[in-house]
Structure 1
């Protein structure tokens, strides 16, 4: 620190931008497999549809392929909840090889079957190959959910700040890949889904290998998800679920499912679902990087004051601009993709700072999000079948109402402190509990050792060096050494600066703030 108030004073925008670019540069070269793999995970479903746009029956409403596309959402959703709700243990070393292998088989088979089915006439498909339309979504769903959980595990070990850089870089790369598909011959384009799936599987192998644990061994850390523990890997660790985040994910997924159904049916213009969706993905990644890093907006604002507001605004524009509804769809896509990118970072934060099981949390969040998509998609299918003459404005108004209702109901300054429902309300109402929580957060953020954490907790209570040595039953000279190391890790030089740091941490806890640009030892 340059001054005694650095910990408590917000960085300048110039400093924040500098930190942002350094983070992106370091992440680009340090973890290439993670952001490249994330790009492939996001781009794979789009590459499948891009490879089949020339075939008229690929996205026709009511066909087995249409229903199979939605069934993929159901498989992913149920798979995620299955992982979260039924705990079991696997050897981490076996996961390093088995998950990429299973994912590669699922991606390869699903890509080949889907493209082959799209080439068939609709009549022949429905009469002779309907059973295969149930096989490829099953394979696609299994491949996606196990890879999703693997990436949540990797991101959780790295923390939210690096995850922001990884998902933004991956999103931009994925958008670029999808854009380049427009200039590739059809014969080669049909091989792209297979290639992207294999690359995603290959990168999944490195997701288990590359990111070493950045967690410290201080008291309270959940070693069930510690990558240093190569003996057993807890697939699910039951605890109080983040119900606020799950409701948000379900609502966002439901809204997107309705919009996707409308766009597939041509409600926003021919091809709008693909073109505007890809552009929305790019804009969302750029906007998220801007809001989360230089502007230092917290997760609470990012979800309910940016993402949900953009989705609601898109719904309103679609209702008002009936002739140019595609512009509303574009705004909605930006909002949804913003949430889609955000949920990865929020899961990484909860795993990294709240010691939640990555598989448990990832299964719950991704499962709920995709189940929401399934329900929204199905609702549109029912609406299209039984209310053909009714205006789609009713559905869009429903989406607008739900988004605004959830945003108004769930936005709260206590969300971060209560981990979106994982912590009981009022847990930090007394000063002692709040102070203990802040010390734990600092210990995680700066990778303090167990003894350094103990010393920090004693100093936070205002105790002198002699009182700390008596409380911990250590010599005064030993305490002096621990304090010196503690100050070095915290980048401070005096007791007064430590007080400023603790004050800032308590303010952040009270008002639900998190500075993703904080450049500390862990992040």
Structure 2
């Protein structure tokens, strides 16, 4: 049995070819999704970039002192609150905006946030009260726009499925990293600092919205916007807990970078990925941007290598790879306090890796479990943002806003926290119970029967309903003649369906099909419940 487990950790040649072909197909056929995500990510980074915020500056008077917090703190608070309101509103009303003007309205709201933030970040001569009001307003508009647009991005993820979401996320990360380095180079060459990034953010919302509208235009409207609206809405408890842990760890890191980098000197870049993803804080310098971009590119390469060579399910990817990855970064920060760049780079890669996997997990819950995008985007998103705010607040209070000899102790505690959370949340039954969205016995997937496994695979690989019926019979060991009799179709029709099934699953024979479904069954099995694949 142990040898079988080890063997199934590695992909078969057909699986490796399918992953490589899938990435090529994603680049050729759905590049607009990746570009839309990249525009969105750069916009978020720009709207979280700015000088340190002085809380209580107006009330403290000339002789008082203000509390300095990073620029991303306000937008993150508003994102968390907006995501919570959206989740509660959707659960009560089940309404989904579907008018063509909706994305235009969102882009307009996001552009307004960019304009307000641009004035606040660059016009430092405003009175303190006016700057405070402008910062609060820009944070509110940005938080609402971000939370609403994340839902639309997740809706696309839920339509294209798990694998395509991974591919699009990887390509978007590469595109955003290249764009950020280019903007940082422009700022350094012209002496304009963050101005190129901030001014570019004015056009990114409409670019992202236009790309998404072009993508959605190919989808059937009723099915696309109506997906999951009438299903029960169980709370995705484990997904929410996972996002909260990620947020707390990220908040500690970002606040630590802010404090150790010198809050008085100030500029901070806050980065947030497309689907509730990474929120990072880095000094707004060319070196910091290049470091973060290189780390994210390394994470993309590592994830692609994982997909090609290893057969890992979400449980392993999240809790046995990504969480330990993040813990190692904090350990390096604790062990190398004079070389924090090493730990920062590892953490940037670790959070990027985790973000990409969680985007794909959300797509799985939407497409394979039938849950609506509004629910899956808002619940974990709110947990992530509240976690970042909480972790950041704890770190700022612990460090007192300045470099501290106790910083390694804080990093060690966070590393232990991440590992303990991984042990607590990890379970082989996570996927089949939808990370808390499916109760035991409520679905055929949870029961582990062959029909449930076939349905799961068919949904992910875009196998049609008729092809699914053929695939189930083939998986049961039926001959093609038996399939013809069972479905009352001609041999030529069965031959056509079989050829399509083999192509979509990257298999070449009925036995390879059975073996492929057996591996999927093993990934969906609960811990310790190994069963043969049989009808």
Deviation digits for residues 33-53 of structure 1 (CA, Å, limit 9, x no counterpart): 211111122222333566x5x
Deviates more, 1:479-488 or 1:348-357: 479-488
Partner of 1:488: 499
Q: What aligned pairs does 1:24-63 form with structure 2 within 5 A after superposition?
A: 24-48=23-47, 52=50, 57-58=51-52
CA drift at 1:244: 1.6
2:257 aligned with 1:263: yes
2:383 aligned with 1:380: no
Q: What aligned pairs does 1:311-322 form with structure 2 within 5 A after superposition?
A: 311-322=326-337
CA drift at 1:345: 1.4
CA drift at 1:106: 2.8
2:80 counterpart (74, 77, 82): 77
2:99 aligned with 1:105: no
Q: What is the CA–CA distance in structure 1 between the aligned matches of 2:164 and 2:79, rounded to whole Å?
A: 26
Q: What aligned pairs does 1:127-138 form with structure 2 within 5 A after superposition?
A: 127-138=129-140
CA drift at 1:239: 2.2
| Aligned-residue CA RMSD (Å) | 3.8
Q: What is the CA–CA distance in structure 2 between the aligned matches of 1:415 and 1:407, rounded to whole Å?
A: 12
2:182 counterpart (162, 165, 180): 180
Deviation digits for residues 377-427 of structure 1 (CA, Å, limit 9, x no counterpart): 222233344999772234223311210101111222222222222222466
Residue 240 of structure 1 contacts residue 423 of structure 1 at CA under 8 Å; is this kept in 2?
yes
Q: Which runs of 5+ in 1 are unaligned?
A: 1-7, 215-225, 513-523
Residue 237 of structure 1 contacts residue 360 of structure 1 at CA under 8 Å; is this kept in 2?
no
Q: What aligned pairs does 1:359-398 form with structure 2 within 5 A after superposition?
A: 359-385=374-400, 391-398=406-413
The 3 A distance-change label for structure 1 pair 240 and 430 is: closer
2:212 aligned with 1:201: no
Residue 154 of structure 1 contacts residue 208 of structure 1 at CA under 8 Å; is this kept in 2?
no
Q: What is the CA–CA distance in structure 2 between the aligned matches of 1:297 and 1:231, rounded to whole Å?
A: 31
Report the secondary structure of 2:429's partner residue.
coil
CA drift at 1:290: 2.2
CA drift at 1:141: 0.9
Residue 281 of structure 1 contacts residue 337 of structure 1 at CA under 8 Å; is this kept in 2?
yes
Deviates more, 1:246-255 or 1:183-192: 183-192
Partner of 2:195: 190
Residue 40 of structure 1 contacts residue 197 of structure 1 at CA under 8 Å; is this kept in 2?
no
Q: What is the CA–CA distance in structure 1 between the aligned matches of 2:15 and 2:469, rounded to whole Å?
A: 31
Q: What is the CA–CA distance in structure 2 between the aligned matches of 1:364 and 1:167, rounded to whole Å?
A: 20
Residue 256 of structure 2 contacts residue 396 of structure 2 at CA under 8 Å; is this kept in 1?
no
Report the secondary structure of 1:33's partner residue.
helix
CA drift at 1:321: 1.4
Q: For this pair of structures, how many residues does the alignment match?
A: 481
Q: What is the CA–CA distance in structure 2 between the aligned matches of 1:494 and 1:191, rounded to whole Å?
A: 55
Residue 91 of structure 1 contacts residue 233 of structure 1 at CA under 8 Å; is this kept in 2?
no
2:215 counterpart (201, 207, 210): 210
Q: What is the CA–CA distance in structure 2 between the aligned matches of 1:61 and 1:294, rounded to whole Å?
A: 50
Partner of 1:516: none
Q: Which runs of 5+ in 2 are unaligned?
A: 1-7, 57-65, 269-280, 528-535
The 3 A distance-change label for structure 1 pair 187 and 414 is: same
Q: What is the CA–CA distance in structure 2 between the aligned matches of 1:306 and 1:249, rounded to whole Å?
A: 15
Q: What aligned pairs does 1:472-487 form with structure 2 within 5 A after superposition?
A: 477-478=488-489, 483-487=494-498
Partner of 1:407: 422
2:369 counterpart (354, 367, 379): 354
The 3 A distance-change label for structure 1 pair 129 and 65 is: farther
Q: What is the CA–CA distance in structure 2 between the aligned matches of 1:431 and 1:363, rounded to whole Å?
A: 25
CA drift at 1:119: 3.5
Q: Which structure is richer in relative contact order (CA contacts within 8 A, separation 6 or more)?
A: 1
Q: What is the CA–CA distance in structure 1 between the aligned matches of 2:48 and 2:510, rounded to whole Å?
A: 60
Partner of 1:323: 338
Partner of 1:273: 282
Q: What is the CA–CA distance in structure 2 between the aligned matches of 1:281 and 1:476, rounded to whole Å?
A: 50
Deviates more, 1:383-392 or 1:41-50: 383-392
Deviates more, 1:384-393 or 1:148-157: 384-393
Q: What is the CA–CA distance in structure 1 between the aligned matches of 2:110 and 2:67, rounded to whole Å?
A: 19
CA drift at 1:136: 0.7
Deviates more, 1:182-191 or 1:306-315: 182-191
CA drift at 1:445: 3.6
Deviates more, 1:161-170 or 1:383-392: 383-392
The 3 A distance-change label for structure 1 pair 443 and 155 is: same
Q: What is the CA–CA distance in structure 1 between the aligned matches of 2:383 and 2:358, rounded to whole Å?
A: 11
